[in-house]
Amino acid sequence: MAASDLINLSGLIDDAKCFALVRQHRWPEGACCPVCGSGAVIRAGHDDTQPCRQRYRCKACSGRFDDLTGTVLAGHHQPLRVWVLCLYFMGLNLSNRQIALELGLDGSDTQAMTEQLRRGLAAKTPAVELTGEVGVSRTHPHERIGMGCGAV
């Protein structure tokens, strides 16, 4: 596929539908607060730079969030339509290398995206890394040295 075709393809993708897709995956029963889990949320305008990105306010905890808050898609430098295209190419069984070529992305970027997308389009940002680190650093070298010196 030539670069000009790619631009056309990306241009055909409707941002509103991309965000609707995320909402559908994330909240099949309607939006709920990512902080307290309450379903008592009200719509509170749209993102300043992404007009299709819905903002919400939680009536229970007054928390503010939007369609992508707390998901792997939030704060990523790739626009949502690139994620959706990436997901589409994954469905066609394209390799990471092919997807990178089609989307004009870096190989490592593409790998990170496909890994995250395998967990789900609206999967939560993994908190596993944090707890994993705590588990690994169970021994404190300084403490051991200190104890040894004191005992001898």
Considering the complex, what minimum distance in angstroms separates the CB of residue 35 from Zn ion? 5
DSSP letter (8 states) at residue 39: S
Cα distance between residue 108 and residue 13, in whole Å: 24
Rounded to a whole number of angstroms, the minimum distance from the CB of residue 19 to Zn ion is: 21
Q: Provide, rounded to whole angstroms, the least separation between the CB of residue 71 and Zn ion.
A: 16
Name the site residues for Zn ion (rule: CB under 5 A): 33, 35-36, 38, 58, 60-61, 63
Give, as one character, the DSSP assignment of residue 7: H
| 9 vs 60 by CB, closer to Zn ion | 60
- N- to C-terminal Cα distance for the chain? 72
Closer to Zn ion at the Cβ: 16 or 61? 61
Residues 6+ apart with CB under 8 A from 138: none
Least CB distance from residue 13 to Zn ion, whole Å? 31
Nearer to Zn ion, 34 or 114 (CB): 34
Report the residue number, 36 or 44, with the smaller CB distance to Zn ion: 36
Q: Where are the beta strands (DSSP E) in the chain?
A: 41-46, 54-58, 64-66
